[in-house]
Structure formats: structure tokens, C-alpha cells
Amino acid sequence: TKKQAPCSKDTICLTQIVLFLSCQDCTICMEALAGPSGYKGPGVGGISRAESVGRLAQCGHQYHLQCLVAMYNNGNKDGSLQCPTCKTIYGVKTGNQPPGKMEYHVIPHSLPGHPDCKTIRIIYNIPPGIQGPEHPNPGKPFTARGFPRHCYLPDSEKGRKVLRLLLVAWDRRLIFSVGTSSTTGESDTVIWNEVHHKTEFGSNLTGHGYPDPGHLDNVLEELKAQGITEEECLP
Ligand code: NAD
Ligand code: ZN
Ligand code: ZN
């Protein structure tokens, strides 16, 4: 029989791990990580104790594996999982934006509040269509109001960064969604998703215009909440 090696700095003692786990709770179900998941649902039975705790690779936060699976299944199943403790996003989040076109070009005029640069104009065009399985009412038509929608960014370094990330958001179908418009109350229609755009050029009648000194930073935060950052998008 082999003699067991003593605990050293290179190997963590098993009793230490057990003690560590037993005093930590899974913050999804609020039960101890050392015990079973507090989530009693179908589909994830029969996993052994050794496989029952998952450690998220990037942030290191730990949960019952069954709780992570339940959280994913109870969400919108968009291909991503967000750590409920620190909000780190795993996987690539995608949306349900219908097919369409995104174009942009530079126009030789300055936006209020950005006198030293030209302006990027983005043109989104989405035609009406039929809802897919990823939409609220599959098989039912959806309308598309106010297209083409024109949006404006300063053609500055930060404005161009926002544009690069918006192009990624478009590819991931995160700029628009299908649902009920909070402005008009119309249901089954194309609506802006969680990323704010400026749709007025020289005026600010709707509140979606310039000047707005915080706009670019706000959009960068909103893109981050969708899992889109420059660090993540660079090769
Ligand atoms: P919504 O009303 O459900 O709102 C979703 C988000 O978009 C909210 O955060 C809201 O603050 C923002 N938002 C609302 N109106 C906006 C606007 N005019 N510009 C930029 N952001 C706006 O979203 P929705 O139904 O897609 O848009 C609201 C209305 O604005 C729609 O009736 C649409 O037709 C109209 N619109 C028209 C044009 C146009 O060029 N004619 C352009 C953009 C929006
Ligand atoms: Zn749990
Ligand atoms: Zn975390």
C-alpha cells in the first residue's frame, strides 16, 4: 500500500477544503455548498457530490451546479450566463433582433456639444415580418415603425469606439427586439433594446438628442451590460 504524502504548500489539505465549503453558502439557493442544492426542479438529478459544485472560471465564485443550470433555464436562454455575485458574463449573449440592415457614414457637420469633430450617422432599416420562435408571439406578424431610423454619434475617438461596439451588438442581434413599445403602447412591433441611441441631430425635442455630455459613457455601460466591451472584441 502507498503511503499518503503529507500536506504541503503545493497541495491543499482535503480537510481544509471540506471545512471551507461547509461554511460557504450558494447565494442562488442560500443553502450550504457542502450540502445539496436547495433548488428542487426536474432535469438535473443523479449527479454525484463531487460534481455538484461549480466554480466560475473567470471570477471564481462558486454555486451548486444544479443551481447554475436552473438559473440558466429560468432565464431567457440567450447563450450566456451572468455571475449573480459580480455580474461577470460567461458565453456570448445574443438577442432576438429581426433581420435588417445597419449602415453608417460620416457627415461634415458637428453635433451640439461636439464642435471639434464631424458626425457619424447610423441608419438602421428593419422591415416588418413574421415572428420566429425566439419572439413573444411566434408565427404572428410584427410591425416596424419609423424605419429607416437615423442615429448620430460624434466622429471622435470615443464615438468611433462606440460605433465599433454597436456593430458587434448588431451582429449579436442586441440593438432591437420585438415587443411592446413603451412610447406608443403598440405590441408585436420592433423596439429599441437596452442600448440608447440619439435619433435627433440638431435639436433635443424628444430627449434623444444632443448635447448630452454623458451619452457616450452611458452607451459604453449599456453595451457592457450586454457583454460587449473593447477588450473582449479585440482579436
Ligand atoms: P420604446 O418606446 O419601447 O422605448 C425603448 C427605448 O428606446 C427606451 O429606452 C426609450 O427611451 C428609447 N426611445 C424611445 N423613443 C426614442 C427615440 N425617438 N429615439 C431614441 N430612443 C428612443 O421604443 P420604440 O417603440 O422603438 O421607439 C419609440 C418610438 O420612436 C417609436 O414609435 C418609433 O417609431 C419612434 N421612432 C421614430 C423614428 C423616426 O425616424 N421616425 C426614429 C426612432 C424612433
Ligand atoms: Zn445552490
Ligand atoms: Zn462572480
Instruction: Note the pTM of the prediction, 2 decimals.
Output: 0.80
Nearest atom within ligand 1 for CA of residue 198: 20
Ligand 1 lined by 206 (C-beta under 6 Å) = yes
Contact 39, 66 (CB under 8 A): yes
Task: Supply the ipTM of this predicted assembly.
Answer: 0.90
Neighbours of 138 (CB within 10 A): 10
| 176 CA closest ligand 1 atom index | 26
Closest CA to 190 of 112, 96, 107: 96
CATH 3.50.50.60 fits 14-91, yes or no: no
Residue 102 in contact with residue 176, Cβ under 8 Å? Answer: no
User: What is the overall mean pLDDT for the chain?
Assistant: 88
Q: What angle do CA 75, 76, 80 make, to 5 degrees?
A: 85
Confirm or reject: Cβ of 77 under 6 Å from ligand 1: no
Q: Which ligand is nearest to the CA of 35?
A: 2
Closest CA to 120 of 103, 134, 107, 136: 107
Nearest to 190 by CA among 234, 133, 125: 125
Domain boundary assignment for the chain: 14-91, 101-233
pLDDT over 50 at 80, yes or no: yes
Q: How far is the centre of ligand 2, averaged over its atoms, from the C-alpha of 86 (Å)? A: 16
Instruction: Report the alpha-carbon distance of residue 231 to residue 133 in Å, rounded.
Output: 32
Residue 35 has pLDDT above 60, yes or no: yes
% pLDDT > 90, the chain: 69
Topology of the domain covering 101-233: Enolase-like; domain 1 (3.30.390)
**What value does the mean pLDDT take over residues 114-128?**
98
* C-alpha cell, 2: 502507498
d(CA 17, CA 21): 6
From ligand 3's centre to the CA of 95, what distance in Å? 23
pLDDT digit string, tens, across residues 207-231: 999 999 999 999 999 999 999 998 7
Cα torsion at 82, 87, 91, 97 (round to 10°)? Answer: 80
Which atom belonging to ligand 1 lies closest to the Cα atom of 192?
26
Answer yes or no: is the C-beta of 215 below 6 A from any ligand 1 atom: no
Q: 175 pLDDT exceeds 50?
A: yes
For ligand 1, atom 29: residue with the closest CA = 183
State in Å: Cα 213 to ligand 1 middle: 20
Q: Where are the alpha helices (DSSP H) in the chain?
A: 14-22, 65-74, 157-171, 215-225, 230-233
63 touches 26 (CB < 8 A): yes
What pLDDT sits at residue 36? 87
Q: Is 165 exposed, middle or buried (0-12, 13-18, 19+ CB in 10 A)?
A: buried
Mean pLDDT across 2-29: 60
Question: 235: cis peptide before it, omega within 30°?
Answer: no
Q: Residue 55 to residues 52, 60, 65, 188: CA-CA distances in angstroms?
A: 10, 6, 8, 40
Q: How far is the CA of 189 from the centre of ligand 2 (A)?
A: 38
Atom of ligand 1 nearest to the CA of 150: 40
